[in-house]
Amino acid sequence: MDKSPRLSLPYILPSQAQKHLPHNEALDLLDCLVQLTVEMEAQSPPAEARNGECYVVIPGATGAWSGYHGMIATLRDGAWSFWQPLPGYRAWFRAEAALKVFDGVNWIRPALPQVLTPQRLGIGATPDDYNRLLVSSPATLLNHAGNSHRVTINKAATGETASILFQSNWSGRAEMGLAGSDSFSFKVSSDGGNWNTALHIRPDGAVDQTMRPLGRVRNEAGSTLVTSGSITGFSTVSLEQGGISLGSMLAGGGKPVIIPIEGLYQLHLKVTVSASSTYHVSLNRETGETLTTLRFPSSAPVSLSGSTVASLAAGEKLVLAHQGTATVTEGPAETELTLIRL
């Protein structure tokens, strides 16, 4: 045997003439294959290749590389030398900035280990100490491995947060999850600083929509004599949610109801009178348009109710318009208007 079994380095044999030749050939081989760096994969010798550079010859090789595809070509003193890589050889491919392994046929990127526990991982982006997993991609697919798939977000304690945040140009616009409590909530923001809770689900399953306009407006307990043609309103708001409020005092008494947000509303009016004479009351827009009307008989006392659905604009005001004369009974469960945004 005149060569080493793995790298085929030539041995200096007994009584070897010109011992420096096999020795220098072995050094050349070591210089090429140890800490192997491949400039690129190519079919033909680069015109400006430098001494000592290595290339992987691919199929279709021409010129001085013809017939050497699959081998490593290195330029030594102006001449090309070729070596056959063995399975398991590793090389740094400079043009691709990648480490590859020879599998016996092709140079491939080494597979990741079955168990990988990096401190930070970036896919298409650079992670940092806070965003330790960072993905920059047109889409992200999380697929099942069998039948089902579950994504778990865990927090340390009730007062902490486990949520998904949606941003626009790196400014928060929507968030859903367990934000500072064990109740599930949906929050929205127009500026990333001020947040409104649109939906709140308690652990017992009860649902609250704190920003959904919902309210009941009434007058204080007692009785009021109303005359034909008068316009009145209300004095108090109960069950207030979502910004329902009252405006300035009307000449006939009470205040108009101010609609906080545009939308479709269910309006339920209840009026109780203790005495009347050909009397009816209408729920009107402040502009005068009638939304619903209650018509009372001459007998009293009596309580009537009526409902309607109307599209209302933000800032619009609702009032009561009276025709005929009646004594209206005020107070809880006597005369009231309930508003619910649908």
Closest CA to 13 of 4, 5, 2, 27: 2
> Which residues, at least 6 apart from 267, have a Cβ–Cβ distance to it below 8 Å?
283, 291, 292, 307, 308, 309, 310, 318, 337, 338, 339
- The confidence band for 5, taking pLDDT boundaries of 50, 70 and 90, is low
**pLDDT digits 0-9 by tens, 243-265:** 889 999 999 999 999 999 899 99
- Mean pLDDT (the chain) is 88
pLDDT at position 150:
96
Which residue type sits at 141?
A: L
pLDDT at position 258:
95
**pLDDT digits 0-9 by tens, 161-202:** 999 999 999 999 999 999 999 999 999 999 999 998 989 999
Burial class (CB in 10 A: 0-12, 13-18, 19+), 110: exposed
Q: Mean pLDDT, to the nearest integer, of 293-305?
A: 85
Q: 54: number of CA atoms within 13 Å, CB side?
A: 23
| Alpha helices (runs of H) in the chain, residue ranges in sequence order | 20-33
Q: Is 27 helix (H, G, I), strand (E, B) or coil?
A: helix
pTM of the model: 0.56
Residue 22 pLDDT > 70: no
pLDDT at position 26:
62
- The confidence band for 9, taking pLDDT boundaries of 50, 70 and 90, is low
Question: What's the CA angle centered on 316, arms 314 and 318, to 5 degrees?
Answer: 135
pLDDT at position 299:
72
Percent of the chain predicted with pLDDT > 90: 59
> Rounded CA gap, 319 and 239, in Å?
19
**pLDDT digits 0-9 by tens, 53-64:** 999 999 999 999
Pairing of strands 121-123, 133-135: parallel
Closest CA to 242 of 278, 196, 277: 196
Q: Is 191 helix (H, G, I), strand (E, B) or coil?
A: coil
pLDDT at position 210:
73
pLDDT at position 268:
94
Residue 33 pLDDT > 80: no
- The confidence band for 329, taking pLDDT boundaries of 50, 70 and 90, is confident
C-beta separation of 72 from 83 below 8 A: yes
Q: Is 32 helix (H, G, I), strand (E, B) or coil?
A: helix
Tell me how long the chain is.
Answer: 342
pLDDT at position 27:
63
The position carrying tokens 């043009």 is 95
The DSSP string of 139-172 is ------SSS--------SSTTSEEEEEEEETTEE
> Rounded CA gap, 305 and 295, in Å?
10
> Rounded CA gap, 55 and 58, in Å?
9
Residue 99 pLDDT > 90: yes
Q: Mean pLDDT, to the nearest integer, of 108-133?
A: 93
